[in-house]
Structure 1
C-alpha cells in the first residue's frame, strides 16, 4: 500500500487493533511455551502413579514421555491436531487426561467450532472404547456414571472454552475491520468535500475570468487584441466545463464556509455550553478560499469534539501566520470528571481533519498534555503566490 494519507490512517487503525487483540501477550510463542510448561507441570504430578503402574516406565522415562507430549503444544497454532493425536495416544497408553484438555482447547481456539466439536466427539468415543477395555484405571472411572461425570465433562469444557475464545477473536477482528472501514470512509468523505470546495471556488473564479475576458473582447471589438480576449474567454469556459466533468457537484450541498463562518461556529458552541475565545490574525483573511475552508473544517471538528468530551470547558482558538506558515490551534481543558453519559462518536473526526490538512501539504497533531487537549494544524500560507 503506498504511503498516502489514507494509507497512513489505515495503518494507524490497524496498529491500534493489533495492540488491542494481542493484549498482554506480547509474543504468541511465549504464550505457547508457558502453556506447554503448565501442562507438563500438571502431568508431572501423575508420575509417581505412572511409575507404579504396570506400564514398563520408570519415574524418569515417564517424565520424558510426558515432556515430549507437552512439547507438541508448541505447535498448537499451526498444527493443533498434532497435540490432539498425541494426547489420545497418552490417554490409551498411560491413561493421562491432562494433555487432552489442552489439546481440545487449542483445537477450539485456533480452528473454531466445527473442529472443536469433531475433536470432542472423537475424544469421547475413544475414551468410552478404552473404558470398556481391560486395564482402565480402577480409580479413574470404574463405573459408567463416573465416566460420564468425569471423562466427558473434561473434554466438553476444554473444547467449549476454546471455541468461545475463537469466537471472541472473530468479534475483535470484525471490530478492527469496521474501524478500518470507518477510517477509510472518513478519508473518502473528506476528499469528496475537498473536491466540491475546489469545484465551487475555482469554478467561480473561472466564471469571473470568462466574463471579464468577454467584456474586454467587446471593448476591443475591431482591435488587434479582440481575438486574444475571445480565445481567453473560450479557454476559461472550457476549463470550467472540464472541472464540471471531473468533479461531480451536488447542487443541494453548500460549499464549506471560510474564516467568516468561524464566528457562527463559536456561537453554536457557546449555545451548547462551551464558551469559545477566538484570536484570528488579520492576514488570515487574505488566505486562499481553499485554505480557509481547511481551517474551518479543523476548527469545526475541534469544537464538536470539545462539546462531546469536555462539555462546559472553555475553548481557545488561535489562527496566526508566521514565516509563510499558517497555524490553526484549538485548546481546551480536560474535564475533571468523565461525562455522565458516553458521547456518541464515530471516532473518525481526526482522520477527516488530518486528510484535509495533509492533502494541502500540511501536518496535524492532536493530543493531551498538562491537563489540556490541543489540536494544531500547520499549513503553507500560500500568500503572494
Structure 2
C-alpha cells in the first residue's frame, strides 16, 4: 500500500537521513562535510516531498544515493546505516515506479560492492548481503503482485461495465417491447374510432377509451421497467408480466380488431418469473410484428409443456411486406429465449410467418 499522506512523505527521508548520520558517526574517520551535505539533501528532499514539487519516491532515491556516498567515504559500513538503506530501498521499490526502484537498488548495490572491496573486518557482512538480496527479490515479487492486483482491478472494472451495458440493453429491450405493443394496438383502436366516428359514435368512443386504457397500462409497465435501474426507499417495484398474463395480452389485441386464436396448455401459466416474462414478451412482440407486417391476417398463438420443455408458436397468415422491419424484433426475441437457456427461430412458412420458441421449464 502506498503511503501518500504528508507525515509519511516527511518521515521517510528524515529516517533515512538519521540512519546515514548514525552510520557515519559510528565510523573510524570523521567527515563533517559529508554529514552536512547529507543533512542538506535530507532537508531539501523533505521540503520537496512536502510541497509536492516532485514525487516523494524520487526524493528518497536521491537521498539514498547521497547517504550511501557519505557512508562509503567514511570508510565503515556501519550496520545500522545499512539496515536503514535496505529497509528504505525496499519501501521505495514497493511504492514507486520501476526506474526509481532501479536507481535506488543500483545505489545500494554499488555501496555494498565498494565496502566489500575494501576488505576490512566487518561483523555481519554476510547477513546484510543476504538480507539485501532477499529484500530486492521480495521487492520484485511485490512488484509482480501489485501488477497482478492492478490487472485484477481492471478486469473487475471491465466486468462491471459489461454488466451495466447488458442491463441497459435488457431494459432497452423491455421498453422497446412495451412501447411497440402499445403504439401498435393503440393505432388500431384510433383507426377504428376514426372509421366509426360518423356512423357509430359509441363504438368510436369505446375504441378511444380502450386506446387510453392501453396507454395507461403501458405507461405503468415502462415505469416499472425503468424502476429496475434504480432502487427507491422501499426497494419495491411493480411486478412484471408473466406467462399467466398471455391470455389478457391476446384479449387486448382482439379488442383492437385482430383475429387471434389462443391455445395454451394450463401448465404454461405456472412458469417462473424469468421464463414467464420471456414467454410473455415473445408472444407480445410476435403479435405486434404480425399486426404491423401482415395487417388483417388471422394469428394463432399456441403453447405447451412437453417433457420439461416449453414450446411457444405464433403463426400468422399473409406474407410480410418487404422492408417492413429491420429484424430488431426478431433479434430481441432470440436474445430473450437465449437468456433463459432456450432458442427461437422465425421465418416464413407456406401460408405466412411462424415464430417458434423453445425453453426449459
Q: Same fold, TM exceeding 0.5?
A: no
TM interval, short-chain normalised = 0.3 to 0.5
TM superposition score normalised by structure 1: 0.42
TM-score by length of 2: 0.44
